[in-house]
Amino acid sequence: KSISLKYRLRSRRSRPLRLMTSYTERCLTPRKRRWQRETEGLVLGVYEKEKEDDTRLLPTVDVDFASFASSGPPLKKGKSRIFYGLHEDFPSVVVVGLGKNSPGFCSKENWYNCKENIRAAVSVGCRALQDLEVPLVEVDPCGDPQAAAEGAVLGLFEYDEFKKKKTFAVKTQLHGSSDTTAWERGVLYGEGQNLARRLMEAPANHVTPAFFADTIEQKLAPFSDKVIIHKRPKSWIEEQQMGAFLSVSKGSEEPPVFLEIHYNGNAESSQPPLVLVGKGITFDSGGISLKPSSGMEAMRADMGGAATVCSSIVTAAALKLPVNIIGLAPLCENMPSGKANKPGDVVKAKNGKTIQVDNTDAEGRLILADALCYAHTFNPKAIVNAATLTGAMDVALGSAATGVFTNSDWLWKQLFKASIVTGDRVWRMPLFQHYTKQVTDSQLADLNNIGKYSRSGGPCTAAAFLGEFVTAPHWAHLDMAGVMSNKDEIPYLRKGMSGRPTRTLVEFAAGLCTEP
């Protein structure tokens, strides 16, 4: 009966098709849908009508779409409908709404609406076919193959490593003979962010500092001709006199690791490298200044800065970007013990500055301080550090954008331009002397690791603290605490750790390839 229904649908192409998802789900039993699951599916994009006689479809398959495009209510942006039996090669076709065809830059949202709509719509279509257990899905490029690929790869990801019931695996590929290079680039961008998501989502008893470093080493192994990796042990950290980093790590039984990655994408160039620094706290209990138990499990992702930085370098290597990048990730746990930092302790950073540790839960800035000092030894073109640094950043911007503190207008423009393309936005925050004075007014040391007025301007005083360890003219601090996880704000990401802003860092690095 399912076969006869299939051919009956094909024979009625001249008539408007009103076979919508709800109807087919009632009529077709799982056994009768077996022919769908064993073959390919297609995700097809459609724009909103601009005129009464305009379907605004993207005709990538030889089917009379005019007969069904207008059937039923208008297809809204981000919504989908499933049709069966429309094409002999694609028993299941998911039509997704792309909204209005407005490819230009939206100054109000600081992104390209069309790209974001494509990512969201394609992810919805791919998930619909994943629910039907269709193993191979061809994706309409929708006018932007890279955005379509990103939506497919990001939308299908779900962390299920420790579950018996696995998410159904779906392979996606570009439909038609469009720009395959752009599609493959989008796949790599999406896979890079998914790597960061996987590291951030994994439990902290599995992703220890050593495991994190080993994972990145394995991911970079295929590019060994251009990549050098150093997994620096505790003895090396001591030799470098990184007292701030060591003070955080000493509360845990897990030994610290300082991960150093050299990607030589343009070895013949004399241009100085881009240095990316990521906060790598693989679990943050708060130390002696213990965090509340509610929500503490999410602190397995407090190494999100290191995850995004390292994943962006993996992606840059896969893309063969002609740029030199050095990645630095101080990795350790922040735990309470008899050896842990105590409020009021004084520690010394690599550059000789002393720090009064009044809050052991403000540990990220301590490990970054030493890493930033070390970053200067490479005479970098620019230093960009990323960290889930302050909960107050989430209060300030929520999940709309990553906060950026920078001493360089040029660097800000490069990051902002990259975020417009990826849709993973950044927003500039102030680096006033007003905030610097609050961290340099310390009773016992040169600096205090929290601001003078505690809660006021938390992200800004944290950035001002880091600025005390920077002399480079082009430096940016990305506070990604607000974008660490996703509930339902980003439609093409499932609930969980987001891996943001990995794609923006990759796009930023790619942009430097064209810089003089």
E-strand ranges in 335-490 read 345-348, 354-357, 382-387, 402-406, 426-428, 447-448, 475-479, 485-486
Taking the C-alpha atoms of residue 2 and residue 25, their distance in angstroms, rounded to an integer, is 13
- C-beta of residue 423 within 8 angstroms of C-beta of residue 119: yes
From 365, 381, 425, 500, the catalytic residue: 365
Tell me how many degrees the CA angle 118-403-359 measures, rounded to the nearest 5. Answer: 140
Q: Could you tell me how far CA 469 lies from the centroid of its own chain?
A: 27
Catalytic residue among 291, 417, 428, 452: 291
Q: Which amino acid does the sequence have at 476?
A: A
Q: Is residue 6 annotated as part of the catalytic site, yes or no?
A: no
DSSP 99-157: -S---SEETTTTEEHHHHHHHHHHHHHHHHHHHTT-SEEEE--TT-HHHHHHHHHHHH-
What is the helix (H) or strand (E) element at residue 175, kind and residue range? none
Angle, helix 502-512 to helix 304-319, in steps of 10 degrees: 40
- Tell me which amino acid residue 65 is: F
Question: Is the distance from CB of 492 to CB of 119 less than 8 angstroms?
Answer: yes
Q: 67: closest CA among 135, 117, 16, 12? A: 16
**Cβ neighbours for 321, distance < 8 A, ≥ 6 positions apart:** 265, 509, 510, 513
* Burial class of residue 217 in the structure, from the number of CB atoms within 10 Å of its CB (0-12 exposed, 13-18 middle, 19+ buried): middle
d(CA 132, CA 86): 17
Tokens representing residue 299 in the block: 């602190």
Is 365 marked active-site?
yes
User: For residues 72 and 81, is the Cβ–Cβ distance under 8 A?
Assistant: yes
- Active site positions, annotated: 291, 365
